[in-house]
Amino acid sequence: MQPLRLKHALALFTLALAVPLANAQDLLQIWQSALQRDPTYAAAQSARNAEQERVPQARAQLLPQIQAQAGTYAQDKRHASELNQGSGSNRNLWSLTLTQPVIDISRWRQLEQSHFHANSADVAQQLAYQDLILRVTQAYFDVLAAQDTLNVIHAQIRAAEHQLQSAQQSFALGGTTIADTHETQARLDLLQASEIQAQNALQISRDRLSTLIYEPVGQLATLRTDTPLPPPQPATIDDWVTQAATANLDVLRADLDARIAENRISVARSGHYPTLSLQAQTGSASDNRLYPNNQGPRSMDSSIGLQLSIPLYSGGGISSEVREQTLRLQQARYQLEAAKRLATQSAQQYFSGVVSGLSQVRALSAAEASSRASLEANQLGYEVGVRVNIDVLNAQQQLYETQRNLARARYDTLMHGLRLKASSGALNESDIIAINNLLASSQQVQ
């Protein structure tokens, strides 16, 4: 009966790794909730929308400016020798002024710069989007890994309890010494202590995922163990490195920062350039009590003309600003080169992570089969008396740990694949869907 119990415990553990509950949440559902509720990504969206307003603000400086003014004035005049005698007047006036820049290089450069800022904000928002994909997937797999650890401990506890019962029976019959019972009891006590720690780790990982979606996390769909993991496409590292050097979002953002810095030099230099603007004005004024019967004249004055402004000397401030922006450009170019190097290094790292991860999965799959055969052999040897109780416990632990490491290797390999795509700027929701298709669906529970 003892081997059957152990096989039953092993079957329950394997089932716990592979099959979720019927109402399990999958990765796509978690992602869609996080996309709507994650505050970090929402802040990035608001920042992006705010930066887009730079364009109409800069464009407004090139469009006509209309200003209206109105005023009223009261004046009282008296002689110093005859203060009781005097005269007063009231003046009411209004004016309407239109100014249209005709030639203003600085404002045109600022309009170009606003487009660069808007494009940089778009890239920053895409970076936040990719970061959310990675954070959600990593948090999801962390929960699954914590569940696997707890399942391993539960399976080991069940197996240790069975072995403890068997050791006690054998000792009662005189077949073994009391050492087997003590060894099994010590192993069981350690496992029960580890169970508390594993439960706490699982709760922490669930809370971390819950923070992203702002709701309690239910049972999660698990990764199917019978589905092979996809290899990287394209299959050569050079293709990924080339794409990362040009399409990585950090590289694109650094390139835009360099263009912004270059454009700032043009904006600073334009401080030396003359400006030409068209001005048109119309207005009216009325004078009362300056004439008999309060019948003051009312006039309508209008004018139109061009105003030329030529900067001659600004204390050296413009030249200093040009030198400053030139140094800022050098800084931006160095940062662009650093971003390219980091992107290529990341592509190489995560490509190697996927390739080595796939090899590790294959090796651990073979180790799982070997560990299972070793456990069965130790169980048989224990029954016939050529193996002791501790040998069976060690074989059980080796099998369970191998299964847990195999699951962890599969999670890590998938994460390396996502980070590889992120390093090349190609990570999007379709990758979430692809991983979600590898999860066990609720129909598999039937």
Give pLDDT tens digits for 336-373.
999 999 999 999 999 999 999 999 999 999 999 998 89
pLDDT at 297: 54
Q: Is the dihedral of CA 416, 421, 427, 431 positive or negative?
A: negative
Grouping H, G, I as helix, E, B as strand and the rest as coil, residue 288 is strand
Give the residue among 118, 201, 158, 125 at the shortest CA–CA distance from 5. Answer: 158
pTM for this model (two decimals): 0.82
Grouping H, G, I as helix, E, B as strand and the rest as coil, residue 21 is coil
Task: Name the DSSP letter for residue 443.
Answer: G
**pLDDT tens figures, 63-106:** 999 999 888 877 766 666 665 666 666 778 888 999 999 999 99
Query: Tokens 């990341």 belong to which residue?
Result: 346
Give the residue among 228, 229, 227, 223 at the shortest CA–CA distance from 17. Answer: 223
Domain ranges of the chain: 27-66+104-275+317-437
pLDDT at 387: 72
Q: Is the dihedral of CA 5, 11, 16, 21 positive or negative?
A: negative
Buried residues in 336-345 as b, exposed as e (16+ CB within 10 A): beebbebbbe
Grouping H, G, I as helix, E, B as strand and the rest as coil, residue 157 is helix
Distance CA 107, CA 89 (A): 44
| Amino acid in the structure at residue 207 | D
pLDDT at 4 over 50: no
Measured at the CA of 284, the angle between CA 283 and CA 288, to 5 degrees, comes to: 160
pLDDT at 237 over 90: yes
pLDDT at 247: 94
pLDDT at 187: 78
pLDDT at 393 over 80: no
Phi/psi at 436 (5° precision): -60, -30
**pLDDT tens figures, 6-19:** 444 444 444 444 44
Average pLDDT over residues 386-401: 79
pLDDT at 165: 77
What percent of the chain lies above the pLDDT cut of 70?
84
Grouping H, G, I as helix, E, B as strand and the rest as coil, residue 89 is strand
pLDDT at 366: 93
Q: In 72-214, which residue ranges form alpha helices assigned H by DSSP?
A: 105-173, 178-213
Q: How confident is the model at residue 191 (pLDDT cuts 50, 70, 90)?
A: confident
Longest dimension (CA), the chain: 138
Average pLDDT over residues 39-54: 94
Phi/psi at 74 (5° precision): -120, 135
pLDDT at 22: 52
Cα 19 off chain centre by: 30
pLDDT at 442: 40
248 Cβ neighbours under 8 A, 6+ residues apart? 339, 340, 343, 346, 347, 423, 424, 425
Q: How confident is the model at residue 28 (pLDDT cuts 50, 70, 90)?
A: very high
Give the residue among 411, 419, 418 at the shortest CA–CA distance from 433. Answer: 418
Taking a C-beta distance cutoff of 8 angstroms, is the pair 175, 438 a contact? no
Taking a C-beta distance cutoff of 8 angstroms, is the pair 145, 407 a contact? yes
**pLDDT tens figures, 282-294:** 888 765 544 445 5
pLDDT at 34: 94
> What average pLDDT is seen over the chain?
85
Q: Which two tokens stand for residue 51?
A: 């930066």
pLDDT at 51 over 60: yes
- For the chain, the straight-line distance linking the first and the last C-alpha, in angstroms and rounded, comes to 29
Distance CA 353, CA 420 (A): 9
70 Cβ neighbours under 8 A, 6+ residues apart? 93, 94, 95
pLDDT at 5: 46
Counting Cα atoms < 13 Å in the Cβ hemisphere of 385 gives: 6
Rounded CA Rg of the chain = 39
What percent of the chain lies above the pLDDT cut of 90?
53
Grouping H, G, I as helix, E, B as strand and the rest as coil, residue 175 is coil
**pLDDT tens figures, 133-144:** 999 999 999 999
Average pLDDT over residues 275-301: 69
pLDDT at 291: 46
**CATH, domain range 27-66+104-275+317-437:** 1.20.1600.10
Distance CA 428, CA 423 (A): 12
pLDDT at 147 over 60: yes
Distance CA 304, CA 101 (A): 14
**pLDDT tens figures, 409-435:** 999 999 999 999 999 999 999 999 999
14 Cβ neighbours under 8 A, 6+ residues apart? 403
Q: Which two tokens stand for residue 116?
A: 């660069």
Distance CA 94, CA 96 (A): 7
